[in-house]
Amino acid sequence: MTLRPDAAAETPETEAAADPGTEAGAEAAAICADLIRFDTANRGEGDAHPERPAAEHVAALLDEAGVAAEIVESAPGRASVLARIPGTDPSHPAFLVHGHLDVVPADASDWAVPPFSGEVRDGCVWGRGAVDMKGSLAMTLATVRARLRAGRRTRGDLVLAFLADEECTGEYGSRYVAREHREYFEGCAEAISESGGFSVDAGGTRIYPVATGERGTAWMRLTARGTAGHGSKPARDNAVAEIAHAVSRIASYEWPVRLTLGVRALLDGLADALGTAIDHDRLDEEAVRLGRAGHLFAGTVRNSANPTRLDAGYKVNVVPGTASAQVDGRYLPGTGEEFLATIDRLLGPKVVREFINHEEAPAADPAGATFAALAGSLRAEDPLARPVPYVMAGGTDAKSFNAIGITSFGFAPLRLGPELDYFGMFHGVDERVPLDGLAFGTRVLDRFLDTR
């Protein structure tokens, strides 16, 4: 759980004099490639390749740096790595850096390179997880290892969590460690993790969105019950028809715009960075006009509910007694009650809902000291950087840590060339991360950790 007491004695003085940015950047690329070669594809609902081999690799890298990491399993093979590195001031708050070891699946036939090869080509590391988020884990590991080799520690304790199962619900990863291993997170109030800090090219301006929140999750199962019978006879109480009508009402509903504090801060920041007014009454059109910059708010100005599954019946001439559907609901911070009330109204009296997964929408302060430190670290490495607050449309392990009082910022810094679309690579084909982007990220992380 803590740094080994003999770790400092193992650090040669010549290593401390080396350029930590160059050293860590090169190491991050190598670690990223190695992590990609562990196939940790997670299809959800328990169908996942075990994270244990990748976790053992991460733990070994930390052990080499003098950190006694612990591997914890929530189920056989579903492993996470936890470590707590003492800071220089025991009275200072601890800080958490968390990320996930699992990835979404990849169909090799669609890719230009084998998705679990970790191949280096055209100045990039290619493979599933390069962006989401083994590249980020590699930057964290390389940065921490370089700092420890140089005898540099954060002021407060630095807590590291490399987690299983983020690509499903986190039940085997972040939820498990937050519930069963709370001792590691004692004194932590804030954290950084994925989905923020990457550059977005916007007509010569480099925007860096730093996530200060994300929409809440309401995955729901809808059920309609009716009278079973022969398909040739009148069926006035048809469960299939009821579920179809309910799903149609949800799919066609136009959710109203709800500008939360975080989204307003993003719109203001984009308008300032791009030197253009953004019409809050025409945000759908503005998102299209602003291109990649518009993608940052297109999915977070309103709640959403997308039907994703239907299930009913077993034979064409039998009217079933029940029918069900599944809906992926997402809602902005502070709008959860409004969201569910709207869903219930759209369902009508004959359809009931239950949660498959329900997590509140976390939010952080876009005007606070931690956001300022994150933004300052980006500007120090890229003088043209324009950091802006950002609310994520989807979700991360931040929700699990929010439930135990830890506020997360999305910050996995990458400088990308204009030809690379972060959102297009996220869960996409030919996912890859630039070598110079990884080097940039390690320098930014190193600067930020100096503020902790």
pLDDT band of 236, cuts 50, 70, 90: confident
In tens, the pLDDT along 269-279 reads 999 999 999 99
Name the active-site residue from 166, 167, 359, 365.
166
- Please say if the pLDDT value at position 445 is more than 80: yes
pLDDT digits (tens, 9 = 90+) for 27-36: 999 999 999 9
What is the per-residue pLDDT for 297? 95
Instruction: Read off the pLDDT of each residue in 338-344 and give the average, rounded to a whole number.
Output: 98
Active site residue 6: no
pLDDT in tens, 281-332: 999 999 999 999 999 999 999 999 999 999 999 999 999 999 999 999 999 9
Question: φ, ψ for residue 306 (rounded to 5)?
Answer: -115, 115
Outline where DSSP puts E strands in 313-406: 318-319, 322-331, 351-359, 385-392
**Rounded CA separation 278/365 (Å):** 22
What one-character DSSP code corresponds to residue 192?
Answer: E
Q: What is the mean pLDDT of residues 364-369?
A: 94
Which residue is listed with tokens 């093979």? 77
**CATH code reported for the domain at 8-195+396-449:** 3.40.630.10
pLDDT given at position 302: 96
Domains 8-195+396-449 and 213-359 share a fold: no
Task: Give the pLDDT of residue 204.
Answer: 82
* Residue whose C-alpha is closest to residue 8's, from 148, 140, 155, 157: 148
pLDDT at site 284: 95
Per-residue model confidence as pLDDT tens digits over 210-227: 999 999 999 999 999 999
pTM score over 0.95: no
Instruction: Copy the structure tokens of residue 101.
Output: 């070891």
Dihedral angle over CA of 238, 242, 248, 249, nearest 10 = 150
Residue ranges per structural domain of the chain: 8-195+396-449, 213-359
Q: How confident is the model at residue 149, as a pLDDT?
A: 95
pLDDT digits (tens, 9 = 90+) for 290-299: 999 999 999 9
Mark residue 324 as left, alpha or beta (left: phi above 0; alpha: psi -120 to 50; beta: remaining).
Answer: beta
| pLDDT category of residue 58 using cuts at 50, 70 and 90 | very high
Beta bridge partners of 79: 73
Mean pLDDT of the chain: 93
Is pLDDT larger for residue 24 or for residue 182?
182
Q: Tell me if residue 166 is catalytic.
A: yes
CATH class entry, domain 213-359: alpha beta
Strand order in the sheet with 432-434: 120-121, 124-126, 432-434
Q: Are 190 and 295 in contact (CB under 8 A)?
A: no
Instruction: Give the residues across from 154 on adjacent strands.
Output: none
What token pair was written down for 298? 């297109």
Q: What is the pLDDT of residue 417?
A: 87
Strands 94-100 and 158-163, by their bridges, are parallel
Judged by average pLDDT, the poorest of 5-19, 140-154, 166-180 is 5-19
Give CA separation, 332 vs 107, 186, 408, in Å: 33, 28, 16
pLDDT of res. 419:
84
pLDDT at 40: 98
Question: Residue 368 corresponds to which tokens in the numbers above?
Answer: 């606070």
Mean pLDDT of 70-95: 97
pLDDT for residue 5: 37
pLDDT of residue 1: 55
**Residue 117, pLDDT score:** 97
**Percent of the chain at pLDDT exceeding 90:** 87
**Which among 23, 27, 51, 102 is annotated as catalytic?**
102
The pLDDT score that the predictor gives to residue 112 is 96
Helix (H, G, I), strand (E, B) or coil at 125: strand
Provide mean pLDDT across the span 333-351.
96
The tokens of 127 are what? Answer: 């493979």
Q: In the chain, pLDDT over 70 holds for what percent of residues?
A: 95
